[in-house]
Amino acid sequence: MSRSARFRELLRTPPFICMGAHDAVTAKLAEQAGAKAIYVSGFAASAIVAGEPDFGVLSQTEMFEHIRRICRVTTIPVFADADTGYGGVLEAQRTMKLWEESGASVLHLEDQAMPKKCGHFAGKQLIPPEEMRQKLRAMLEARQDPDFFIVARTDAVAVSGLDDAIERLKSYSEVGADGLYVDAPESIDHLKEISRRLKPLGKPLLFNMARSGKSPYLSMKEVYELGFDYALCPIEPMFAMHKAVKEMMEIFLREGSTNAVADRLTPFDEFNKFIGLPEMAAREKRFSS
């Protein structure tokens, strides 16, 4: 069974979480920890690849290469942010083709105007719903694998309100989007209303579990009870990395050694085993003997 087909199987038995991975190492860690799917965030990619905030700084091909590196080292389905599709309908079609080529199984396309911003930043602008529907139709036409899952995302809550967000997603559902995603709802009442009005469409509903954004922080169990089928844990691994590495470097530079943080460091041999050194050495020996 392909990874895309396996993702659709996960949606038959919700709930589940797509664990954020911002590079090859965190992708391998997510799979090792038991994650059922991985999420590749544009926010995290902007920080990791460019060292810049999520203001649409990465090009389509930079994001493609970033996703491909993550897909190469994992066997579980990868859900990859596609931002606005990087332009108009033809660019959206190319994004569809590239994301399939990268090995991803899922993407979400958002209805922000370019240059886009992180969904939890101020100052977002929207494209007209019809323009978004055109992009979705273009992506659906370009899709080669019928199991590849296309999620329509709206950022309308912070711009034009919850009612517009819901009406937009209803119209995106009508053109064939596989799943629906309201980004940055601001209260449990918002979540209840989203579920009440969109659940009858029969499309899986996605929730973003970003801990320090605009949305209430809820457990997967709580989110599921509100009517959402699956969730993203998009940026917490990157934040954990940032805090741990920042503290290690500060202590090392202050004290001149890593003695004070030795218990927080993975041993050299253990890390080499994690990244597959024994298997690679065995392959080399087999071919050279």
Q: What is the pLDDT of residue 177?
A: 98
Whether the per-residue pLDDT at 144 is higher than 70: the answer is yes
The tokens 């993407």 sit on which residue? 107
**Predicted local distance difference test score (pLDDT) of residue 117:** 64
* % of the chain surpassing 70 pLDDT: 98
CA dihedral for 273, 276, 281, 286, sign (positive or negative): positive
Q: Exactly one of 31, 110, 155, 178 is catalytic; name it.
A: 110
Residue % of the chain over a pLDDT of 90: 92
* Annotated catalytic residue within 31, 81, 155, 178: 81
The structural architecture, per CATH, of the domain 3-236 is Alpha-Beta Barrel (3.20)
Catalytic site residue from 120, 133, 153, 168: 153
Average pLDDT score, the chain: 95
Among 167, 186, 193, 222, the active-site one is: 186
Residue 164 appears among annotated catalytic residues: no
**Residue 213 confidence (pLDDT) above 90:** no
Of 39, 86, 181, 230, which one is the catalytic site residue? 39
One of 3, 8, 31, 83 is an active-site residue; which one? 83
Dig out the tokens for 267 from the structure.
Answer: 């041993």
3-class DSSP state of 141: helix
Q: What pLDDT, on a 0 to 100 scale, did the predictor assign at position 252?
A: 94
Q: Is 83 an active-site residue?
A: yes
What pLDDT was estimated at residue 116?
A: 80
**186 catalytic per annotation:** yes
Provide the pLDDT confidence category of residue 119 given band limits of 50, 70 and 90.
Answer: low
Reply yes or no on whether the pLDDT at 122 is more than 90.
no
| Region of poorest pLDDT, from 50-59, 74-83, 132-141, 198-207 | 50-59
Q: Give the mean pLDDT of 48-54.
A: 95
Instruction: Decide: helix, strand or coil at residue 238.
Output: helix
With cut-offs at 50, 70 and 90, classify the pLDDT of residue 1: very high
Task: Tokens 């999520």: give the residue.
Answer: 54
Query: Band of the pLDDT at 132, cuts 50, 70, 90?
Result: very high
3-20 pLDDT, tens per residue? 999 999 999 999 999 999
Task: Give the whole-angstrom CA distance, residue 85 versus residue 83.
Answer: 6
Nearest by Cα to 245 from 235, 234, 256, 253: 253
Q: Which of 18, 22, 23, 54 is catalytic?
A: 54
CA distance 242 to 265: 14
Q: What are phi and psi of 131, to 5 degrees?
A: -65, -40
- Please say if 208 is a catalytic residue: yes
Half-sphere exposure of 46 toward its Cβ, with a 13 Å CA cutoff? 18
The whole-angstrom separation of Cα 260 and Cα 30 is 27
Instruction: Locate the domains of the chain by residue range.
Output: 3-236, 242-288
- Closest by Cα among 99, 159, 95, 163 to 125: 159
Distance from C-alpha of 252 to C-alpha of 225, rounded to nearest angstrom:
46
Catalytic: 153?
Answer: yes
At residue 214, what is the residue type?
A: K
The model's confidence at residue 226, banded by pLDDT at 50, 70 and 90, is very high
DSSP of 88-99: SHHHHHHHHHHH
pTM, two decimals, is 0.95
Average pLDDT estimate for 187-211: 96
Strands 149-154 and 179-182: parallel
Q: Identify which has the larger pLDDT, 124 or 149.
A: 149
Band of pLDDT at residue 212, cut at 50, 70 and 90? confident
Q: Please give the backbone phi and psi of residue 211, each rounded to the nearest 5 degrees, phi first.
A: -70, -35
User: How many residues would you count in the chain?
Assistant: 289
Q: Is 163 a catalytic residue?
A: no
Quick one: average pLDDT of 201-214?
92
pLDDT given at position 50 = 97
Catalytic residue among 190, 208, 229, 230: 208
